[in-house]
Amino acid sequence: MIPRPGISPVLLRGLILLLLIGWGWRPVLHRLQRALIYARAPGPVPVPKEGPFARQIRPVSLHRDDQVTLHGWLSSPAGASEQQDQPAQDRWLMILFPGNAGTRANRIPILADFNSLGCHALIFDYRGYGENAGRPTESGLTADAQAIFDFACDELHFAPDRIILCGQSLGGGVATRLAWELSRQNTPPAGLILRATFTSLVDAAKVHYPWLPINWILVDRYPSIDRIPQVTCPVLVMHGVRDTIVPASQGERLFAAAPARSTNGVPKQFLSVPQAGHNDLQALAGQELHAAQGAFIRQIQAATRR
């Protein structure tokens, strides 16, 4: 007797389990993975009250359409003019999109370095971090990044072509997305600096969870490797050789995928830091980063004068 075709009970139970995981448990999986991706640090973030840098910081806030208010800081070079009412072609701004842990208070050395290079520096904590309400997601951070850029132009009166985006680790995914979108609109930023960032969050997750079906379950993906080829502004990538969180090979691949030159002729640049890892890049290689960023900024400024 020829048996009728069908599904065995074991296979049927397996398919049901996959459906439960893929659909019934989908919201739970999303919440769990986002709890791992976004190491939120809620609570007040006071402006430093002591030290020379304290006088260079002022709080700023940005109200979003979804009732979330983002809180941040604008830090200015020592002795910089306080006249913010009109655009000035000699005023340069760095917007820092931070990594996935801590708050803006942990990025003071980076902000201070930007100021020492003659640039103003703007940083907002992500939604769900610091005093900010909401929960971080890729779509939320993407929309917030565009709003932050618009705030810098419309409220702080910086010229769009005098704004350099800097992404640190996870923030590299946010900054690359913004640079990509602005480039597609033919309004690219002045430059893009990537510090210890990944080719995509999928690739970064596979390093730490090789046994999981990352391609199938990961909801926030930040595919920078697919976007950076269309970024038309100057690009600087910096990565520590000893990085075990985001391997240096990912920074190298991201750099290789970027255009050889920006549309205004500035060649892409890569800084490899042998002695640094992921979280100690600024602490161990501050002088090297300062020199690389200073040279990068000067090249951008020279290109804008041509």
Catalytic residue (choose from 71, 120, 239, 278): 278
> Which segments within the chain are labelled E, that is strand?
57-63, 69-75, 93-97, 120-124, 163-168, 191-195, 235-240, 269-273
Task: Return the amino acid letter for 118.
Answer: G
Is 278 noted as a catalytic residue in this protein?
yes
Angle between helix 138-154 and helix 170-184 axes, rounded to 10 deg:
60
**For residues 172 and 141, is the Cβ–Cβ distance under 8 A?**
no
CA 266 to each of CA 57, 162, 298: distance values in angstroms, whole numbers, following the listed order: 31, 15, 10
Return the SS3 of 192.
Answer: strand
Residue in 129, 98, 100 with CA at minimum distance from that of residue 36: 100
Give the whole-angstrom CA distance, residue 37 versus residue 225.
19
**For residues 140 and 70, is the Cβ–Cβ distance under 8 A?**
no
0.95 cut: is pTM over it? no
- Domain map (residue ranges) of the chain: 38-305
Catalytic residue (choose from 125, 144, 203, 243): 243
- Please write the tens of the pLDDT for every residue from 254-303: 999 999 999 999 999 999 999 999 999 999 999 999 999 999 999 999 99
Is 157 noted as a catalytic residue in this protein?
no
Catalytic residue (choose from 75, 76, 169, 262): 169
φ and ψ at residue 255, rounded to 5 degrees: -65, -45
Q: Which CATH number fits domain 38-305: 1.10.1740.10, 2.120.10.30, 3.40.50.1820, 3.90.1150.10?
A: 3.40.50.1820
- Please write the tens of the pLDDT for every residue from 173-183: 999 999 999 99
- Please write the tens of the pLDDT for every residue from 74-123: 999 987 755 454 445 679 999 999 999 999 999 999 999 999 999 999 99
Residue 177: strand pairing partners: none
Give the whole-angstrom CA distance, residue 133 versus residue 200.
26
Tokens found for residue 236:
């600087």
Is 125 noted as a catalytic residue in this protein?
no
